[in-house]
């Protein structure tokens, strides 16, 4: 168990190092001259020279890389030139909004996904089951940003029951959270349905029935609990996905999270903030993956034995 | 292999397919055809504007007498022409991206799966690291740094896709490289190149084709997403994503600007997804061999 955890932790650290390196290559190596990219083509040679000096761009690339890694480890991403705060603060200030959006998307996914999945499993191979599986397939295939716009057209413009942009209220959370969740409601429903149908064929279910337990009790006490193991672990992956892919949803609904901050910062070439945001998101993403793997071993003793 | 079987009874095979396969195939063919013939049907010119024809609902006659079947946008462009031109952009980006990403993935996947050893170590490790970076964010980062152009969008998206193809190919190469028919070829003195081309490659192709089909659909969504964020193709080129982004500001007065290109994208992507599933089912017995 300890050996497995150690190996998995080392892998996560390697991935974090890799992610920081990818961002470094994209922002410092690819553009040729980052100073010109930041200041634009209209900049004077003096201004360019000064910025190159302050960014350390006149150093050899490897030295720049080493300096950069040291700064990142010290959580120093430099200053945002748009807002007069450090890039990390600008990012952390927005993180809460993104996390609450992701958390609500998660709640919606779990509630609707479990409801639809167990509904379909109990009526396996009826029209209701087929309806659930077809709509989940379509829901997964639709482009998320278009779903968002259509939902805001229907609920905010036509029916006028929900606000289309963030105004700080709970209701303004509904549309973006639902947009984020929708593709995964169907995904979870299918996962839950398959899980339940598999568990229903297990010996312990027959034993429970033989003991005279009612169908309802067998289902909610035994079957549902065993279905939870694979599902709960997948939900961790989903949280990471919500944080990373909330970018587009945040832009659509003008949600003040780190996703819309990222796009604004790219547009205004505020690269210190871009670096901070990408590092925060990928580290969250990688750590959630790590958490999922650990949780998986913890929840299912059979796996623990194999990997010990 | 599949081509031979299919070629023998193409008509019979088509007739045996379920209804959704026909619908999906028909939709994709219709869109490809419309994309190809677009300039003839309804020419699109990004620079042309017609203020009198602004924001007209679908089915209105324009000032020049033409019919705007799908309405017009905020500068008086015909939405139908814009959707057709966007189809060309979307299809071009998706096909070239999948071709580039697929070739790189095929090459590296074969290398990693067949030779194993340090080549596999490096390729798989780099792939792991890249997959730990959310692919949409990587595409946004690259497209944002490289600047808006079709080539840059293709580069950004191909970089995010190669890993997927490399993994698929590596998996199937790994599965066949120690099988008896490969061993016997090796015993007969066949070179690595000959074994790769004659024995390994044919078993890697069916799963690669399935992955490529699915990725064409996903790449179309990714291109539209980038263009929606203003990081995709330049404004002089039509893209469903940028049209949807423009339409977002006119949802109250002209819903069709955002709705129509999005519906087109959704329809194509769902159809391609259905085709991908069918292809997977069809190639499943092959991969088990």
| B148 occurs within a structural domain | yes
What is the arithmetic mean of pLDDT over A123-134?
83
Taking a C-beta distance cutoff of 8 angstroms, is the pair B231, B242 a contact?
Answer: no
pLDDT of residue B160 exceeding 90, the answer is yes
In Å, how far is A216's CA from the nearest CA of chain B? 35
Nearest chain A residue (CA) to B247: A149
Q: What is chain A's mean pLDDT, rounded?
A: 83
Nearest chain B residue (CA) to A33: B145
Residue of B229, B252, B262 with shortest CB distance to A143 = B262
In percent, the amount of chain B with pLDDT more than 70 equals 88
In terms of residue numbers, what domain contains A26?
A: 1-88
pLDDT of residue B16 exceeding 90, the answer is no
The DSSP bridge pattern shows strands B60-61 and B67-68 to be: antiparallel
Tens-place pLDDT, residues B82-97: 888 889 899 999 999 9
E strands along chain B, which residues?
60-61, 67-68
Q: Of B218, B215, B227, B225, nearest to B167 (Cα)?
A: B215
Give the model's confidence band at A166: pLDDT under 50 very low, under 70 low, under 90 confident, else very high.
low
- A146 and B255 within 8 Å at the Cβ level: the answer is no
| A28 occurs within a structural domain | yes
Model pLDDT, residue B164: 93
A41 and A150 co-located in one domain: no
CATH number for the domain spanning B144: value is 1.10.3720.10
DSSP label of B72: B
Boundary residue ending a domain (A88, A107, A135): A88
With a CB cutoff of 8 Å and minimum separation 6, the contacts of B15 are: none
Estimate the crossing angle of helix B135-146 against helix B150-176, to 10 degrees: 140
Give the sign of the dihedral formed by CA B43, CA B44, CA B45, CA B50. Answer: positive
What is the arithmetic mean of pLDDT over A298-308?
59
Any CB–CB contact under 8 A between B225 and chain A?
yes
Tens-place pLDDT, residues A189-231: 888 888 888 888 888 888 888 888 888 888 877 887 777 777 7
Chain A residues near residue B133 by CB distance under 8 angstroms: 18-19, 22, 282, 285
CB atoms within 10 A of CB A117: 27
A36 and A132 co-located in one domain: no
Q: What ranges in chain A are assigned the alpha helix state H?
A: 2-24, 34-39, 45-55, 61-73, 87-122, 127-141, 144-151, 171-200, 203-210, 215-217, 224-252, 258-267, 271-299, 301-307
In Å, how far is A42's CA from the nearest CA of chain B? 16
Tens-place pLDDT, residues A275-292: 899 999 888 888 888 888
Q: Of A50, A25, A145, nearest to B129 (Cα)?
A: A25
DSSP label of B62: P
Mutate to test the interface with A, among B18, B20, B144 (most CBs of A within 10 A): B144
Q: Is B116 left (phi over 0), alpha (psi -120 to 50) or beta?
A: left
Give the model's confidence band at B288: pLDDT under 50 very low, under 70 low, under 90 confident, else very high.
very low
| A305 occurs within a structural domain | no
Distance CA B21, CA B167 (A): 27
Give the model's confidence band at B156: pLDDT under 50 very low, under 70 low, under 90 confident, else very high.
very high
Boundary residue ending a domain (A49, A71, A88): A88
Helix (H, G, I), strand (E, B) or coil at B56: coil
Q: Which residue has the tokens 């096909």?
A: B95
pTM of the predicted structure, to 2 decimals: 0.85
Boundary residue ending a domain (A28, A57, A88): A88
In terms of residue numbers, what domain contains B233?
A: 20-283
| B12 occurs within a structural domain | no
Q: Which residue has the tokens 């229907």?
A: A154
Q: Is B71 left (phi over 0), alpha (psi -120 to 50) or beta?
A: left
Model pLDDT, residue B159: 93
Q: Which is more confident, A133 or B226?
A: B226
Distance CA B232, CA B241 (A): 8
Structural domain total, chain A: 2
ipTM of the complex: 0.84
| A261 occurs within a structural domain | yes
Helix (H, G, I), strand (E, B) or coil at B78: strand
Distance CA B167, CA B123 (A): 10
Helices and strands per DSSP (H, E), number in chain B:
12, 2
Structural domain total, chain B: 1
Tens-place pLDDT, residues B215-232: 999 999 999 999 999 898
| B1 occurs within a structural domain | no
With a CB cutoff of 8 Å and minimum separation 6, the contacts of B273 are: A137, A140, A141, B214, B217
pLDDT of residue B2 exceeding 70, the answer is no
Q: Of B219, B245, B161, nearest to A248 (Cα)?
A: B245
DSSP label of A155: I
Distance CA A51, CA A260 (A): 26
Task: Output the CA angle A86-A90-A93, nearest 5 degrees.
Answer: 130
A110 and A237 co-located in one domain: yes
C-alpha torsion angle, residues B30, B35, B38, B40 (rounded to 10): -80
pLDDT of residue A307 exceeding 50, the answer is no
B-facing residues of A in 212-251 (CB < 8 A) are 240-241, 244-245, 247-248, 251
Model pLDDT, residue A308: 41
A28 and A118 co-located in one domain: no
């Amino acid at each position: 168990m300890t050996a497995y955890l150690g190996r998995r932790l080392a892998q996560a650290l390697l991935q974090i190092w890799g992610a920081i390196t990818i961002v470094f290559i994209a922002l410092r190596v690819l553009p040729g001259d980052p100073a010109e990219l930041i200041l634009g083509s209209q900049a004077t040679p003096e201004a360019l020279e000064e910025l190159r000096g302050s960014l350390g761009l006149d150093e050899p690339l490897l030295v720049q890389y080493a300096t950069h890694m040291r700064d990142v480890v010290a959580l120093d991403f430099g200053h945002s030139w748009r807002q007069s705060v450090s890039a990390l603060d600008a990012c952390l200030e927005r993180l809460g909004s993104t996390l609450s959006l992701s958390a609500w998307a998660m709640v919606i996914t779990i509630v609707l996904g479990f409801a639809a999945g167990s509904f379909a499993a109990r009526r396996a191979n009826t029209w209701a089951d087929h309806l659930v599986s077809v709509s989940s397939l379509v829901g997964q295939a639709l482009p998320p940003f278009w779903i968002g716009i259509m939902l805001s057209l229907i609920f905010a413009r036509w029916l006028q029951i929900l606000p289309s942009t963030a105004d700080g209220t709970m209701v303004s959370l509904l549309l973006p959270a639902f947009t984020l969740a929708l593709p995964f409601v169907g995904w979870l429903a299918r996962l839950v349905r398959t899980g339940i149908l598999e568990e229903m064929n297990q010996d312990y279910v027959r034993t429970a029935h033989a003991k005279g337990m009612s169908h309802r009790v067998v289902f909610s006490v035994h079957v549902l609990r065993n279905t939870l193991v694979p599902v709960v672990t997948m939900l961790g992956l989903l949280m990471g996905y919500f944080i990373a892919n909330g970018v587009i949803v945040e832009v659509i609904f003008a949600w003040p999270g780190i996703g819309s901050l990222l796009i604004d910062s790219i547009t205004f070439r505020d690269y210190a903030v871009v670096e901070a945001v990408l590092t925060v998101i990928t580290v969250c993403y990688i750590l959630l993956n790590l958490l999922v793997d650990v949780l998986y071993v913890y929840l299912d003793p059979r796996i623990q034995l194999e990997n010990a | 292999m599949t081509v031979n079987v299919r070629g023998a009874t193409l008509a019979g095979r088509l007739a045996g397919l379920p209804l959704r396969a026909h619908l999906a195939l028909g939709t994709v063919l219709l869109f490809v055809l419309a994309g190809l013939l677009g300039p003839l049907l309804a020419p699109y010119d990004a620079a042309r504007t017609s203020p009198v024809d602004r924001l007209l609902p679908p089915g209105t006659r324009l000032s020049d007498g033409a019919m705007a079947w799908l309405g017009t946008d905020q500068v008086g462009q015909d939405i139908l022409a814009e959707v057709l031109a966007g189809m060309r952009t979307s299809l071009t980006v998706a096909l070239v991206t999948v071709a580039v990403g697929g070739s790189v993935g095929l090459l590296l996947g074969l290398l990693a799966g067949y030779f194993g050893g340090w080549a596999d170590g490096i390729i798989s490790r780099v792939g792991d690291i890249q997959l730990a970076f959310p692919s949409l964010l990587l595409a946004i980062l690259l497209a944002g740094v490289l600047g808006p152009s079709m080539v840059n969008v293709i580069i950004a998206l191909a970089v995010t896709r190669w890993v997927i193809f490399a993994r698929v190919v590596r998996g199937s190469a790994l599965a066949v490289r120690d099988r008896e028919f490969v061993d016997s070829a090796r015993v007969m003195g066949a070179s690595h190149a000959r074994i790769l081309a004659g024995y390994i490659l044919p078993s890697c192709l069916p799963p690669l084709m399935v992955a490529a089909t699915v990725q064409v659909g996903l790449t179309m969504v990714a291109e539209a997403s980038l263009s929606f964020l203003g990081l995709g193709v330049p404004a002089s080129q039509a893209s469903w994503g940028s049209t949807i982004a423009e339409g977002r500001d006119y949802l109250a007065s002209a819903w069709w600007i955002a709705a129509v290109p999005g519906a087109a994208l959704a329809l194509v992507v769902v159809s391609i997804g259905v085709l991908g599933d069918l292809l997977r089912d069809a190639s499943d017995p092959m991969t088990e061999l």
